[in-house]
Amino acid sequence: MSIVEIKIPSPGESITEVEIGSWLKADGDYVKLDETICEIETDKATLPLIAESSGVLKIILQEGETAGIGDVACSIDIDAIQPEKTSAETPSASSETAEVKEKSVSTADSYAAGHPSPAARKMIAEQGIANVSGGGPGGRITKADVQEQGRQVPDGVAAAESVLQMEPAEASGSRNKKRERLSRLRRKLAERLVAVKNETAMLTTFNEVDMQAILDLRSQSKDVFLEKYKVKLGFMGLFTKACTEALKEFPAVNAQLDGEEIVFHDYVDMGIAVSAPKGLMVPVVRNAESLTLAQIETEIARLAKRARDNKISIEEMEGGTFSITNGGVFGSMLSTPILNPPQSAILGMHNIVERPMAVNGKVEIRPVMYLALSYDHRIVDGQQSVSFLVRVKENLENPTRMLF
């Protein structure tokens, strides 16, 4: 019998730990070479685990388990014969996988998976929680697993009082609660968002843009652009261009703090926030300052698709020097974006709404977008940030400016 062990691949240098997101194949399934069999979650992205051979899958690390790089996630019995599609039985596979289990008992999908520790058992009984996933060795349920999954456990005295003295409150209608374990991505996101608020001197400056020129430019050139470059001329490309031009004039906005030093970049690696199934992701367009509009659009389209397909790699999201986020696609009028550390600034785009504007002493209806620039006041002065945003506004209102 030949068994191929599939190990957790390294998603990037900074990652030492991952979490098994979800198995796309069940234990005992026949999997094919290069098929995606599992989703692995890291702090930054979801990665696919690819079958390195065809054969019968033996899952070793369970969903929700934390694993190190190089840990064996599963094994594939490559001698097993692909079952007939109609037949569910794989007798040869099942007897052989049992053997595997015996050989690697301490790391394998353990007989003790789901076994609660004494304290966990009591909490589970008290809180009536079912299906606690075991995060301990071999899938054992630890006290922390229950705490994470369950509601706050009353301490002894409180529990006693609630039983001895309190009548249950009457309620009408359904009051069910549904609990889901936070994904590693979401947990990390939460941590980082709070850290940014606590660790930077973040504030936001606003401006408004008359979008008429951009809209005109798009309607005039979109067909030609699409035909020539096989990619749509979107707002993102134009905004990226407007920013890279402005960043050249205000390098502090494109800089970042590193201990007691400021690191200036002579390039712009532009982070573009993309809403992906697992949460917000920010892939990076490299050297955006030297790319043409068409190159920028092509790259954004490629990255966004990979993010939505959960195929984005850690490398593709690392090292941005400035970011743009577009809340306008969801209809946001105005918001204060949060910095993407260690970057010092982020531009927030919003929806385009026709608003009355005073133009040359007359009220005119114009398509207007509010812009927000959040920045780290520790290294970006108000004068720079405000001037930068004004320059972005000017670039957008007079796109020809960007030509020279």
Partner 1 sequence: MTKFDTTIIGSGPGGYVAAIRCAQLGMKTALIERYSTLGGTCLNVGCIPSKALLDSSEHFENASKHFEAHGIKAEKIKLDWPRMRQRKDDVVTQTCTGIEYLMKKNKITVISGHASFKDKETISVSAADGKQQTVNTERVIIATGSKPSSIPGVVCDKKRIITSTEALSLENVPEKLIVIGGGVIGLELGSVYARLGAEVQVVEFLDRLIPGMDFSLAKEVQRILKKQGMKFFLSHSVQRVSSKGKKVKVSAVNNKGVDVEFNGDYCLVAVGRKPYTQNLGLENIGVTPDKQGRIPVNENLETAVPGIYAIGDVVAGAMLAHKAEEEGTFVAEKMAGQKPHINYKAIPGVLYTWPEAAGVGFTEDELKAEKYNYKAGSFPFKALGRARASMDTDGFVKVLADRETDEILGIHMVGARAADLIAEAVVALEYRASAEDIARMSHAHPTYAEAIKEAMLDATEKRSIHM
Binding to partner 1 by residue 181, rule CB under 8 A?
no
Q: Is 169 in the site for partner 1 (CB under 8 A)?
A: no
Rule CB under 8 A: choose which of 137, 277, 279, 319 binds partner 1: 137
> For the chain, what is the HEC assignment?
CCEEEEECCCCCCCCCEEEEEEECCCCCCEECCCCEEEEEECCCCEEEEECCCCEEEEECCCCCCEEECCCEEEEEECCCCCCCCCCCCCHHHHHHHHHHHHHCCCCCCCCCCCCECHHHHHHHHHHCCCCCCCCCHHHCECHHHHHHHCCCCCCHHHHHHHHHCCCCCCCCCCCCCCCCCCCHHHHHHHHHHHHHHHHCCEEEEEEEEECHHHHHHHHHHHHHHHHHHCCCCCHHHHHHHHHHHHHHHCHHHHCEEECCEEECCCCCCEEECEEECCEEECCEECCHHHCCHHHHHHHHHHHHHHHHCCCCCCHHHCCCCEEEEEHHHHCCCCCCCCCCCCECEEEEECCEEEEEEEECCEEEEEEEEEEEEEEECCCCCHHHHHHHHHHHHHHHHCHHHHHC
Residue 326 sits at the vertex; the CA angle it makes with 238 and 280, to the nearest 5 degrees, is 125
Of 156-164, 167-175, 294-302, 355-363: span binding partner 1 (CB under 8 A): 156-164
Q: How far is the CB of 376 from partner 1 (least distance, A)?
A: 46
In the complex with partner 1, which residue's Cβ is closer, 98 or 359? Answer: 98
Q: Confirm or reject binding of residue 130 to partner 1 (CB under 8 A).
A: no
Catalytic residue among 34, 79, 309, 381: 381
Q: Determine the length of the chain.
A: 404
Piece in contact with partner 1 (CB under 8 A), picked from 36-44, 54-62, 101-109, 183-191: 101-109
Task: Identify whether 381 is a catalytic site residue.
Answer: yes
**Binding to partner 1, residues 301-360 (CB under 8 A):** none
Establish if 126 lies at the interface with partner 1 (CB under 8 A).
Answer: yes
Query: For the window 106-125, what string marks contact with partner 1 as x by the rule CB under 8 A?
Result: x---xxx--x-xx--xx--x
Query: Measuring CA to CA, how many Å separate 101 from each of 5, 30, 31, 109, 268?
Result: 13, 18, 19, 7, 52
143 forms part of the interface with partner 1 (CB under 8 A): no
Contact region with partner 1 (CB under 8 A), list: 100-108, 185-193, 226-234, 314-322: 100-108
C-beta closer to partner 1: residue 88 or 166: 166
160 binds partner 1 (CB under 8 A): yes
Site map (CB under 8 A) of partner 1, residues 80-99, x = contact: ------------------x-
Q: Which is nearer to partner 1, 10 or 162 (CB)?
A: 162
CB of 121 to partner 1, least distance (A): 5
* Tokens coding 295: 């190159």
- Pick the piece of the chain touching partner 1 (CB under 8 A) from 134-142, 265-273, 287-295, 356-364: 134-142
In the set 27, 115, 265, 377, the catalytic residue is 377
Per CB under 8 A, 144 contacts partner 1:
no
Q: Is 377 part of the annotated catalytic residue set?
A: yes
Give the range of 86-94, 151-159, 185-193, 290-298 binding partner 1 by CB under 8 A: 151-159
Using the minimum distance from each CB to partner 1, give the nearer residue, 93 or 304. 93
Contact residues toward partner 1 (CB under 8 A) are 98, 101-102, 105-106, 110-112, 115, 117-118, 121-122, 125-126, 137-138, 140, 156-157, 159-164
Q: Give the active site residues.
A: 377, 381
